[in-house]
Amino acid sequence: MQMQDYSASGHGGDFAAALRTAIDARAVTLSWLRERLAANGNPVSGATLSYWRSGDRRPEGPQSLAAVEQLESLLHLDAGTLLSLIGPSQRVGPIGTPQYPLEQARLEQAVAETFTALGSPVMDPGRDVSTHAVTEVGADGFVISRTTRTILQCTSGTITHVPYLDLTPDQPVPAPIFSMVSGGRISGLHSHHTGEVHGAMFELERPLGPAQTTMIEWKLEFPSGYPGMRETGHGVARNARDLLLWTRFHPDALPSWIDEIEETPDGTIVTEQHLDGATTIHQVQRNWGPGMLLHRWGYDDRV
């Protein structure tokens, strides 16, 4: 179980102070509270109550919050007095060991060098909690743009900037056009000399502390004359709660075959997909990663 020190300041400190004041005002002991909570179906250990009172921990999860509601009644407080002081959850949740979602050591080195050039740690202290990546495919069957909307969470320390990369393994290309839609601004761009890795550094609107989240949305555009691509996807270096790919094809360029590809440290899985009369295809993965999720398509050219 992760422990955080909430006694210094913020909602956690307010909760502990209010709980101490209420206990003192009622002149009751923690043992008395523990016994009555258990009798009302909300068992909490004496140690946990002591942590709550001191501010070393704070209530997390439905059972603990139900106990706090009962504490308000036992301490003759108005409903919501303590609950309103707890603040948002500080739990990061399972994130796993960060890994590059890549199979090629050469490309992994290019990625590391691009992160360094952008001024970012090779493994930054952030993760994509939830990502929706929407790709538009033109009448020629090639990618026009990809818009990505992400809930970003800080896993440790403080985050003010976050890097994102566009990868084209074994296909050197010019830099695509990065633009920030919302949630920050672009503070730096870098293209690796191989032409297979292009990156942007996004400066967030506000710093993120441990377990805090924000939303950012950015766009990649591939202008006329850009080498045609019939593949799109998104990769995560840590476990993500959900990852959605939505690929939208021009009605005059519906592919004859589509593959969904999962690349993870355990290997590569290729699954054939079908439009079945639609013009779009989507795939969702939950509690997934590290890895890359891809859509690849073609027009009667499968070998």
pLDDT attached to residue 239: 82
pLDDT in tens, 42-70: 788 888 898 889 887 778 766 777 788 88
| Residue 101 CB burial class (10 angstroms; 0-12, 13-18, ≥19) | buried
**189-241: pLDDT as tens digits:** 999 999 989 999 999 999 988 888 899 999 999 887 788 899 999 988 878 88
From residue 92, how far is each of 67, 132, 201 by CA, in Å? 22, 20, 23
Decide: residue 179, CB within 10 A, 0-12 exposed, 13-18 middle, 19+ buried.
Answer: middle
Which structural domains are found in the chain, ordered by start? 10-85 (1.10.260), 105-298 (2.60.40)
The pLDDT tens digits for 234-280 are 988 878 889 999 999 999 999 999 999 998 888 889 999 999 999 99
Mode of pairing for the β-strands spanning 143-154 and 213-221: antiparallel
Could you report the per-residue pLDDT of 119-169, keeping only the tens digit for each? 887 666 678 889 999 999 999 999 999 999 999 888 778 889 988 888 888
Distance separating the N- and C-terminal Cα atoms of the chain: 51
8 A C-beta contact, residue 127 and residue 216:
no
Instruction: Please return the burial class of 266, using the count of CB atoms within 10 Å of its CB with bins 0-12, 13-18 and 19+.
Output: exposed
Reading the block at residue 189, the tokens are 């761009």
Q: Which uninterrupted H or E stretch holds 46?
A: helix 46-54
Q: What is d(CA 166, CA 176) in angstroms, rounded to the nearest whole number?
A: 8
pLDDT of residue 282: 94
- pLDDT score for 87: 67
